Structure 1
Amino acid sequence: QGYSAYKRHTLTRPMSQPAAKKPKVVGNGAAASQDVQVVYAGMPGCFSEKAAKQYFNIKLKDEKYATSGLRSVATVFQAVQDGVAQFGVVPVENSYSGSLHQVFDHLLEFEHLQIVGEIGCLEEHCLLSLQTVSDKSMLRAVRGHPHILDACSRYLEALEKANDSEIRCEPAMNSASACKDLTSTPSIEPTAVIAPFEAAEIYDLRVLERGIANDKNAETRYIILGRAMRAEAAPAAGLAPGGSATEIPMFKSSIVLALSNVEGSVFKIIAQFSTRNINILKVETRPAATANSRQPVLSTSPRHWDYLFYIDFEPSRSPQTNKNLISALSEFSMWMRDLGTYQAHSNGLVVSRPDWSILDTASC
């Protein structure tokens, strides 16, 4: 089946995840024991590794650190909670394709972890293939993570039309594993992968085309996981926000809470932020029944269509205001958990306004 059929049937199904076991290191496992250990989901050359290095090159200027790839997002959470690594880096949201829901579920499941940082990374998606494939017109299949295949959907559809043949899309756990599989077990049909530009050198692949994403300015937000720690412990870990008196960094706080399914419950929560002039940055909902099966948090059994609310907000500079906010939220919710307060980071790109003139306004 071509890309259009793949989009209808495959992208709507979650990829199967193996059960979490003791992490298997697939990256640099020979790091010195005194180095800060950082884990990510994937293999060398994947987008998550790039994000990890970009973040810790800034935050741990005077400390050595080592990155290691694990086979899934779940094993990253498990490794940090078990103390195998001090920090984990996982993608949580893409500016084009939206949130990665499994990450929110894991934040609830692994109760001893908190978000200690974040970083927004611009990601260039490239079409890579074996050196024997000299032109993209030869391609019959493309591999990549489902979110990445979706983020490059327009290019893949155009490639089908240009080649006048169907392009079979094959989901992969991550971009780097797709590269490794392609080189270790070459497909009979000419096949490409969508991966970072740097992966071409690591896996000796040919770059057929660069910048193939639907949104050339797409940004993926990664969160940095660490074991729950006191605020005063952050500087020793190199993760405390810096900044001078004239350059105050923006902070972000994340919480998750459960609400009674009654009229006015959402309004009462939102009102607590509004009355204190606190800006809500993001609200994400997840089914309470699914979350409760992983980590029971509710005293009563949730029903279908009951939800947990994950909220990111910009905390007040007044500690007392923040304390009053948390107290009020606790009063109006059935249950609540603090997921961490950390320095916010984004490339801050201004997205160009859409050209609405291309639409037939008479049909709106």
Structure 2
Amino acid sequence: MLCYSGPLSSTQLPNSVSAGSRLRVAYQGVRGAYSEAAAEKAYPNCEAVPCDQFDAAFEAVEKWIVDRAVLPIENSLGGSIHRNYDLLLRHSLHIVGEVKLAVRHCLLANHGVRVEDLQRVLSHPQALAQCENTLTKLGLSREATDDTALAAKYVAFNKLKDTGAVASSSAAKIYGLNILAEDVQDDCDNVTRFLMLAREPIIPGVEKPFKTSIVFSLEEGPGVLFKALAVFALRQINLTKIESRPLRNQPLRASDDSNNGSKYFDYLFYVDFEASMAEERAQNALRHLKEFATFLRVLGSYPVDTTML
């Protein structure tokens, strides 16, 4: 079994991995991160492998260092994780599942430190934003870190007496911190959706609810996006998400209307819809979309996560 003293970076990925029966699953962050909990929910009894950046997790799967990656794609309060949308297009991995994790933030500090002793708190920017009202009432200044668990690790290792961290109860246990307050998030409905990524796609089925994720681009013109979305509505296929991202390395394009003189960006559209690619209606919808899409790629067709943790 591999031992990891810290999160893997893209330049530190080993050339091979020792044999073993446990599934190796990459996640971004350090031990105690919410992403680690998501990986363990998605693949119970897996060997969770920390990576310092999202890019390193993608590369670890592609280079056969790990078997899977579990990475966040959207949060019910903070919205989409745009970096991972861009990486989905850049890499050739397939979405093979999803997992939803209820995020419960705790205020952590070293033992012997009271709430009134704290002057500042460290955490990921989204976590700090999700606890804004609570932290404001406590009169604490906020400083951002790359990861919630990394904030907890920093507070513990430096034995800080005036600084706390917003992180998980798991991080408190791992780094020997005291939980001063639980559920410090402003909204109890704080859920992050993670994607399960693999080198090969799964065979879609129809025996249970499936979701399909695609990305496509369109020519500029009146009603073109309406036409693209209509291919799903015409077949009673429900869309659960649509996200647009600028098409990278593409210059601004001039409008076809010579009298207008305006310029515009080219965009990619990421869409999730409730249907399996094993269903004829889904196949027909994408066949229809291909008639006017300038680019189309199926990112994955996978079972819907109907549980909550």
Are positions 1:86 and 2:71 aligned together?
A: no
- 1:164 corresponds in structure 2 to none
Matched letter for residue 79 of structure 1: A
Distance of 2:78 and 2:150 partners within structure 1: 21
Are positions 1:282 and 2:246 aligned together?
A: no
Distance of 1:55 and 1:32 partners within structure 2: 21
Cα distance change, pair 311–147 in 1 and its aligned pair in 2 (3 A): same
Are positions 1:150 and 2:129 aligned together?
A: yes
Q: Deviation at 1:31?
A: 7.5
- Structural mapping, 1:28-107, within 5 Å: 33-57=20-44, 65-107=46-88
- Structural mapping, 1:307-322, within 5 Å: 307-315=267-275, 319-322=279-282
Cα distance change, pair 302–227 in 1 and its aligned pair in 2 (3 A): farther
Query: Does the CA contact (< 8 Å) of 1:23 and 1:70 recur in 2?
Result: no
Q: Partner of 1:249: helix, strand, or coil?
A: coil
Matched letter for residue 153 of structure 1: E
Could you say which structure has the higher helix fraction? 1
Length-normalised TM-score, structure 2? 0.87
Matched letter for residue 68 of structure 1: V
Alignment gaps of 5+ in structure 1: 1-17, 25-29, 58-63, 161-166, 232-239, 294-299, 350-364
- 1:216 corresponds in structure 2 to 188
Q: Partner of 2:43: helix, strand, or coil?
A: helix
Query: Does the CA contact (< 8 Å) of 2:95 and 2:201 recur in 1?
Result: no
Query: Does the CA contact (< 8 Å) of 1:153 and 1:214 recur in 2?
Result: yes
- 1:255 corresponds in structure 2 to 214
Distance of 2:124 and 2:135 partners within structure 1: 14
Matched letter for residue 54 of structure 2: V
Are positions 1:226 and 2:198 aligned together?
A: yes
Q: Partner of 1:137: helix, strand, or coil?
A: helix
Matched letter for residue 242 of structure 2: V
Distance of 1:23 and 1:302 partners within structure 2: 37
- 1:171 corresponds in structure 2 to 144
Cα distance change, pair 339–302 in 1 and its aligned pair in 2 (3 A): farther
Q: Deviation at 1:72?
A: 1.2
Which range is displaced more, 331-340 or 311-320? 311-320
Cα distance change, pair 108–42 in 1 and its aligned pair in 2 (3 A): same
- 1:180 corresponds in structure 2 to 153
Q: Deviation at 1:230?
A: 5.4
Identical residues among aligned pairs (%): 33
Matched letter for residue 241 of structure 2: K
Alignment gaps of 5+ in structure 2: 1-7, 254-263
Q: Partner of 2:186: helix, strand, or coil?
A: coil
Distance of 1:119 and 1:173 partners within structure 2: 22
Q: Deviation at 1:125?
A: 0.4
Cα distance change, pair 19–287 in 1 and its aligned pair in 2 (3 A): farther
Q: Deviation at 1:228?
A: 3.0
Distance of 1:335 and 1:79 partners within structure 2: 27
Matched letter for residue 216 of structure 2: L
How big is each residue's C-alpha offset from its partner over 1:117-136, in whole Å with a ceiling of 9 and x where there is no partner? 10111121000011131x21
- 1:305 corresponds in structure 2 to 265
Distance of 1:69 and 1:207 partners within structure 2: 24
How big is each residue's C-alpha offset from its partner over 1:303-358, in whole Å with a ceiling of 9 and x where there is no partner? 55332100000116863222211111111211111100001114479xxxxxxxxx
- 1:120 corresponds in structure 2 to 100
Matched letter for residue 218 of structure 1: N
How many residues are treated as equivalent by the alignment?
291
Cα distance change, pair 306–168 in 1 and its aligned pair in 2 (3 A): same
Cα distance change, pair 51–217 in 1 and its aligned pair in 2 (3 A): same
Distance of 1:316 and 1:67 partners within structure 2: 29
Cα distance change, pair 317–80 in 1 and its aligned pair in 2 (3 A): closer
Q: Deviation at 1:67?
A: 1.1
Could you say which structure has the higher strand fraction? 2
Matched letter for residue 274 of structure 2: E
Cα distance change, pair 41–301 in 1 and its aligned pair in 2 (3 A): same
- 2:285 corresponds in structure 1 to 325
Distance of 1:31 and 1:122 partners within structure 2: 33
Distance of 1:20 and 1:137 partners within structure 2: 41
Query: Does the CA contact (< 8 Å) of 2:76 and 2:191 recur in 1?
Result: yes
- 2:5 corresponds in structure 1 to none
